[in-house]
């Protein structure tokens, strides 16, 4: 199944726009697990088990695993998600951005080793950095466009010779000539609802992955109003607010409670936006 179809099915099945980000920090683990990188799989698997019927996607951030020498645990986690939540797609947050044979190896890592359904990519080396990934039929390729960090403006908000801002140009390329197989999406931060609306205007049919709701301060109502339109879905990520809802033995149930609350807020915003 194509990533876009899998995502749409998961959103309908779990009535959710929420993506649960998996950014394991052993120093924040509960109880006896605190500081133990060997428990990354156990911690993340417990979060997955608690939220698998609430989320439309999971998004493991590869750096949190690689930085702790836990790539083997990431492989186990990906297999676990496929087993317990086969209808929920997994977006590997890797932000790769290279060309040629190197890009081919990164694609093998994401789609063959880790069995991801989609991956985040940096498009700033041009189409050459996207093309090797397009060879994996049906996989989602989600390009950085207007990111949630303040420093994103250093490049993304710069005006080009044709009058477009750089992020607008990326959105146009992704909606148009680069999207040769219908696999592309865009990353747009929740801290910039005006830019979300602009990206949606330029890329009306692409899925938008929107980080920044929750711990980073993004507003759910403004995010959904700006990005969710007929024909173009959004995937709203929350990581720390869900993962570290509790530092006690109830961390998984607390994570579920926050995920349920966040899903409800996003759905309420969607209903309000549709009514308006």
194 burial (CB, 10 Å; 0-12 / 13-18 / 19+) is exposed
Of 95, 139, 159, 225, which residue is the catalytic one?
95
Q: What 3-state class would DSSP assign to 234?
A: strand
Q: What distance lies between CA 12 and its chain's CA centroid?
A: 18
166-175 vs 193-202: helix axis angle to the nearest 10?
A: 40
Q: What distances in angstroms separate CA 256 from CA 28, 71, 202, 229, 259, one per listed residue?
A: 17, 25, 35, 27, 5
DSSP 125-166: T-GGGTHHHHTSTT-EEEEEEE-SSGGGHHHHTPBPTTS-BH
Element (H, E) at 236: strand 234-238
139 catalytic, yes or no?
Answer: no
What is d(CA 37, CA 242) in angstroms, rounded to the nearest whole number? 19
* Active centre residues (catalytic): 95
């Amino acid at each position: 199944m194509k990533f876009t179809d899998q995502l749409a099915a998961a959103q309908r099945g779990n009535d959710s726009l929420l993506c649960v980000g998996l950014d394991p920090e052993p120093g924040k683990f509960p109880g006896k697990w605190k500081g133990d990188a060997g428990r990354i799989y156990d911690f993340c698997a417990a979060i997955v088990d608690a939220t698998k019927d609430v989320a439309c996607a999971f998004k493991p951030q590869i750096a949190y695993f690689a930085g702790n020498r836990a790539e083997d645990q990431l492989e186990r986690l990906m297999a676990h998600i496929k087993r317990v939540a086969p209808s929920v797609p997994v977006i590997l947050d890797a932000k790769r951005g290279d060309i040629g044979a190197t890009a081919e190896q990164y694609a093998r890592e994401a789609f063959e080793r880790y069995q991801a359904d989609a991956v985040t990519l940096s498009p700033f080396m041009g189409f050459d950095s996207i093309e090797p990934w397009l060879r994996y039929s049906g996989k989602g390729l989600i390009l950085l466009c207007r990111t949630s960090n303040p420093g994103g403006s250093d490049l993304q908000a710069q005006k080009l010779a044709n009058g477009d801002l750089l992020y607008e140009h990326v959105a146009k390329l992704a909606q148009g000539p680069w999207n040769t197989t219908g696999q592309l999406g865009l990353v747009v931060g929740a801290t910039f609802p005006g830019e979300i609306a602009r990206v949606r205007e330029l890329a009306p049919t692409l899925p938008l992955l929107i980080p920044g709701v929750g711990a980073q301060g993004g507003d759910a109502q403004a995010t959904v109003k700006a990005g969710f339109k007929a024909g173009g879905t959004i995937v709203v990520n929350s990581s720390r607010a869900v993962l570290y809802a509790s530092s006690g033995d109830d961390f998984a149930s607390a994570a579920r409670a926050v995920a349920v609350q966040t899903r409800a807020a996003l759905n309420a915003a969607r209903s309000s936006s549709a009514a308006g």
